[in-house]
Amino acid sequence: MKKININEKLQTFSEHWSPKIIGALNGQHIKLAKFLGEFVWHKHEFEDELFYVVKGKLKMEFRDKTIELNPGEFIIVPKNVEHRPIAEKEVSVMLFEPDTTINTGNSHDDTFTKKEQEWI
């Protein structure tokens, strides 16, 4: 058991759309990521995802609506729901998702897909 400081972990990396694992429990990974710009449209066939905004503003776009999230707010995207995160300015996000989750779900993109994710 050890204490983890989220702000310190966020200072260890600068790349966007490249989630870093900071913990694991019950088959779930806790990840930190920095977003900037538009991600790819995708869905996860078997996994729900939780996006918790640590810093900045995140727009979660769905085919029928867009939900804006501010620091201290989160959204759970259910499995099989197509979505696209958008960050007009850099946003820091904590993610909770099954350890089998590939960040681009059913979309495979040479730029965004990260099959191997780093522990920090």
Asked if the structure places residue 105 within a domain, the reply is yes
Angle in degrees, CA 77, 101, 45, rounded to 5: 60
Domain around 74: 35-120
Q: Is 37 left (phi over 0), alpha (psi -120 to 50) or beta?
A: left
Per-residue pLDDT of the chain (120 residues; tens, 9 = 90+): 889 999 999 999 999 999 999 999 999 999 999 999 999 999 999 999 999 999 999 999 999 999 999 999 999 999 999 999 999 999 999 999 988 887 766 667 666 666 677 889
Is the separation of the CB atoms in 53 and 71 below 8 Å? yes
Is the separation of the CB atoms in 54 and 11 below 8 Å? no
What CATH number does residue 64 fall under?
A: 2.60.120.10
Evaluated on CA atoms 9, 15, 38, 47, the torsion sign reads negative
Entry pTM: 0.89
Angle in degrees, CA 108, 113, 114, rounded to 5: 145
Asked if the structure places residue 23 within a domain, the reply is no
